[in-house]
Amino acid sequence: MNILIKNGRVIDPATKTDKISDLYIEAGKIKEIKDEITPSKQDKVIDAKGCYVMPGLIDLHVHLRDPGLTYKEDIVSGSKAAAKGGFTTILAMPNTKPVIDCADRVKYVHNKAKEMAPIHVLQIGAVTKGQAGEELSKIKEMADAGIPAISEDGKSVMNAGLYKEAMKIAAECNIPVFAHCEDKSLMEVKGCVNSDEYTKELGLPGISNAVEDVIVARDILLAKEAGAKLHLCHCSTKDSVEMIRLAKEEGLDVTGEVCPHHFTLTSDEIDKDDSNYKMNPPLRTKEDKEALLEGLKNDIIDVISTDHAPHSRDEKNQPMEDAPFGIVGLETSVALTITELVEKGIITPMQMAEKMSYNPAQVIHSNKGTLKVGAPADVTIIDPEKEYVIDSMTFLSRGKNTPFNGWKVKGMVKATICDGKIAYMNQEAAKNFK
């Protein structure tokens, strides 16, 4: 099937293109971008007037919960939710049951995804066996099986010597290390929200900035000595941003990601009785959020990822202290990025394409994230003017745990095309789809 996308605003960071054009997809590849392309009879035509046409979005940080925790999500439900959210590639974190720490488990995810997912799913390998922090997992074997990165996400590897060994192996395999930065020994017992005046008033135990910051500092120093490429997950504090700035200034191979909830909400907006405001790291102060926004604006922060962390209703339906950390994000990320960042003039649409597609591709040394002629036809079409109200009941994800239910937002995914095939098409858009 050949697809002609008409009259869209084609935004491609790789070629520095930002122009109203037609884009033609043939045999799964980008064939041509021109002012005006005339469709032949058998072509599918998508009217993209008023829409961004971006390289397919890439989410470096997703929890698919498969294997073992599929009551929360699985590869099929998660990848369908991702396609609806505009993503053509997602990276799955290895904190499943069992943990993904050997090649066979990587292959299980890749094979199931190839068979059943509408988009590309890449499985990340754990740093240590069973994420127990004691013995390294089979990193080389997993690298041969195609992992794009290693990560202990959900926790930090507290044994710095062991972590440095892992970093050296990752460097040899030419894959990055994705770091979840958290020193649990620094947080209050049952810490569940940021440590500040407001949460103290609420009587909730806290997680201070240092819980994150000391490990960010450590991991940058370890990566420097190990010669590894380090990607810092879900940065939430102002000092994280500052340390990434310094690392970059020094020429280290360090990148940072921020999640929509951290650039949208602050700790003083937490509803004490709603654990959908509980995630790790926690919502921080206005000062931290400002630093994240500044980091996004001046490109210290390279990547916007979701940290999509689905949990069941029963699990989340517990008091703040007892509920698990995490919220879903695949189906709200584009709207929050447009509403909070693009509309407010913090980043340009070009920067949005960089942080949600081109830069994530660069982090994992992928040739995706571009609309160059000849590239695989992974394309996302977004209507930035479309206003709607977020309704978690319409999510394709099994997880409905979001603090953004009922929020009025702007920016809707119209279509997601993966390898030249329609992975998702918005109902309304489908009506005009010839």
- In the range 126-155, which residues lie near Zn ion by CB under 5 A? 153
Beta strand residue intervals within 27-108, DSSP E: 29-34, 44-47, 52-55, 57-62, 87-92
Closest CB 213 distance from ligand NCD, rounded Å: 16
307 near Zn ion, rule: CB under 5 A = yes
Q: Tell me which of 84, 105, 120, 180 binds Zn ion, using CB under 5 A.
A: 180
Q: Tell me which of 307, 340, 354, 383 binds ligand NCD, using CB under 6 A.
A: 307
Q: Tell me which of 309, 335, 353, 375 binds ligand NCD, using CB under 6 A.
A: 309
Are 261 and 327 in contact by the 8 Å Cβ rule? The answer is: yes
234 is in an annotated binding site: yes
Q: Tell me which of 31, 63, 84, 316 binds ligand NCD, using CB under 6 A.
A: 63
191 near ligand NCD, rule: CB under 6 A = no
State which residue, 180 or 238, has the beta carbon closest to Zn ion.
180
- β-strand partners of 49: none
Report the C-alpha gap between 240 and 380 in whole angstroms. 31
Q: Which of 66, 219, 307, 383 is catalytic?
A: 307
Q: Exposed (0-12), middle (13-18) or buried (19+): which is 345, by Cβ within 10 Å? A: exposed
Instruction: Map tokens 């094979």 to a residue.
Output: 111
Retrieve residue 347's tokens: 């980043």
Angle at the Cα of 280 from the Cα atoms of 262 and 313, rounded to 5 degrees: 100
Following DSSP, what letter does each residue of 162-204 receive, concatenated? HHHHHHHHHHHTT--EEE----GGGSPTT--EE-SHHHHHHT-
- In the range 90-129, which residues lie near ligand NCD by CB under 6 A? 95
- In the range 267-306, which residues lie near ligand NCD by CB under 6 A? 279-280
State which residue, 329 or 376, has the beta carbon closest to Zn ion.
329
Closest CB 359 distance from Zn ion, rounded Å: 18
H helices of 277-380, where?
286-297, 313-316, 333-337, 349-353, 359-363
Closest CB 11 distance from Zn ion, rounded Å: 28
The answer to whether residue 307 is catalytic is yes
Q: Which residues are documented as binding site for Zn(2+)? A: 61, 63, 153, 180, 234, 307
Supply the residues annotated as catalytic.
Answer: 307
Q: Where along the sequence are the contacts to ligand NCD (CB under 6 A)?
A: 63, 95, 153-154, 180, 279-280, 307, 309, 325-326
